[in-house]
């Protein structure tokens, strides 16, 4: 009996120690980045006091948007033009300086995950970048982050609109018009209603879980079993990813390979089309508050999707 208790207690202590160790490692990560930022800032400003600024988790929260993003805990120089030539995570946001277009989306109001998705609450590199297992909104970086612009800028799906700021998305949209995807797929944003293939209109607003539950990853090369990887590989070779079961022993079980054409796309074109399909958003799901919609001439009259 005593043996069991001793065994139980020591087991508990080991787990506790491990927990404390993991906790320390993770807090050390962001603390280190923030301390380094203040040291750099002290140099840039010539004010040594700044190096002693208190280290704490930073958060951007806006009650209308109801997101709490802690990315600036590490990306502390994101809105500081003086940090342009510093390495990540200290550097200034691209296209922010000199009233660049990113500065039109004030960070203190927009936060980060409205464009970058991912887990805004997390404060470790592993939980906020790359592929994060079981996360329903995977982090988006260049160029996939352009799939978020259409949450607000609905006009970007109009054929004649061409914004260099969203160049990859524009390329994907042009390809989708050129290749006639709307002949088979319903795409509300293009005004097409074709019933031959799954509707794409809300593709970008599906959760990872909703997507992965109904898609077969058996023929996907990458180990990352997430939506954007499936889409990308499917564009490069639809019949490889959806081969059907033409050789099933029981004729009743036989299905044909997909009829989606193999367009012989380059990798770059497959990325652009992936960004495009992920930009097809469901306004109901995104639920962007009215005050976040742009008041620019090109956006006029685009509330019809809401």
Q: Which of residues 101-140 bind ligand HEC (CB under 6 A)?
A: 101-102, 104-105, 107, 110-116, 118, 120, 123-125, 128-130
Interaction residues for ligand HEC, span 275-304 (CB under 6 A): 277, 288, 292, 294-296
Q: In the complex with ligand HEC, which residue's Cβ is closer, 8 or 240?
A: 240
Contacts of 18 by beta carbon, 8 Å cutoff, 6+ apart: none
151 vs 294: CA distance, rounded Å: 11
**Residues across the chain:** 306
3-32 footprint of ligand HEC as x/- string (CB under 6 A)? --------------------------xx--
Q: Among 8-16, 38-46, 66-74, 247-255, which window interacts with ligand HEC (CB under 6 A)?
A: 66-74
Instruction: Kindly identify the residues of this chain, within the stretch 143-162, that bind ligand HEC according to CB under 6 A.
Output: 145-146, 148-149, 151-153
Binder of ligand HEC out of 72, 201, 205, 227 (CB under 6 A): 72
- Name the token pair of 237: 């070779």
Site string for ligand HEC, 214-253 (x = CB under 6 A): -----------------x------x---x-----------
Separation between Cα atoms, residue 118 and residue 124, nearest integer Å? 12
Candidates 41, 168, 181, 220: give the one binding ligand HEC (CB under 6 A): 181
CB atoms within 10 A of CB 197: 14
CB of 212 to ligand HEC, least distance (A): 11
Contact flag: residue 173 with ligand HEC (CB under 6 A): no
Q: Tell me, residue by residue from 260 to 279, as one string, x for binding to ligand HEC by CB under 6 A and - for no binding.
A: xx-----------x---x--
Pairing of strands 67-69, 186-187: unpaired
Minimum CB–partner distance for residue 64 and ligand HEC (Å): 11
Q: Name residues whose C-beta falls within 8 Å of residue 102's C-beta, 6 or more positions apart in sequence.
A: 93, 94, 95, 96
Query: Cβ of residue 247: shortest distance to ligand HEC, in angstroms?
Result: 18
Q: What is the distance between the terminal CA atoms of the chain, rounded to a whole angstrom?
A: 66
CB distance 225 to 192 below 8 Å: no
Nearest-angstrom CA–CA distance, 301 and 252: 51
Q: Is 207 helix (H, G, I), strand (E, B) or coil?
A: coil
Binders of ligand HEC: how many residues, by CB under 6 A? Answer: 72
Q: Are 253 and 245 in contact (CB under 8 A)?
A: yes
Number of neighbours of residue 241 by Cβ within 10 angstroms: 23
Binding residue for ligand HEC (CB under 6 A) from 197, 212, 237, 269? 197
């Amino acid at each position: 009996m005593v043996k069991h208790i001793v065994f139980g207690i020591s087991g508990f202590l080991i787990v506790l120690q491990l927990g404390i160790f993991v906790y320390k490692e993770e807090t050390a990560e962001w603390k280190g980045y923030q301390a380094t930022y203040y040291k750099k800032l002290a140099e840039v400003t010539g004010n040594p006091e700044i190096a002693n600024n208190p280290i704490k988790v930073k958060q951007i929260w806006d009650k209308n948007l109801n997101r709490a993003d802690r990315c600036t805990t590490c990306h502390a120089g994101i809105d500081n033009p003086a940090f342009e030539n510093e390495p990540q995570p200290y550097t200034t946001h691209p296209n922010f300086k000199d009233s660049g277009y990113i500065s039109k989306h004030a960070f203190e109001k927009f936060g980060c995950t409205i464009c970058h998705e991912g887990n805004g609450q997390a404060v470790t590199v592993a939980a906020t970048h790359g592929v994060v297992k079981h996360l329903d909104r995977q982090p988006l970086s260049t160029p996939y982050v352009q799939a978020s612009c259409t949450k607000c800028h609905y006009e970007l799906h109009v054929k004649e609109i061409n914004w260099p700021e969203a160049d990859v998305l524009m390329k994907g949209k042009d390809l989708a018009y050129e290749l006639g995807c709307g002949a088979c797929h319903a795409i509300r944003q293009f005004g097409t209603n074709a019933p031959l293939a799954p509707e794409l209109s809300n593709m970008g607003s599906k959760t990872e879980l909703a997507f992965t539950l109904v898609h077969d990853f058996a023929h996907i090369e990458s180990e990352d079993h997430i939506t954007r990887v499936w889409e990308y590989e499917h564009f490069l070779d639809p019949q490889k990813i959806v081969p059907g079961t033409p050789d099933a022993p029981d004729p009743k079980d036989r299905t044909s390979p997909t009829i989606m054409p193999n367009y012989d796309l380059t990798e770059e074109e497959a990325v652009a089309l992936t960004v495009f399909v992920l930009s097809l958003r469901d306004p109901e799901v995104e639920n962007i508050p009215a005050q976040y919609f742009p008041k620019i001439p090109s956006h006029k009259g685009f509330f019809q999707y809401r």
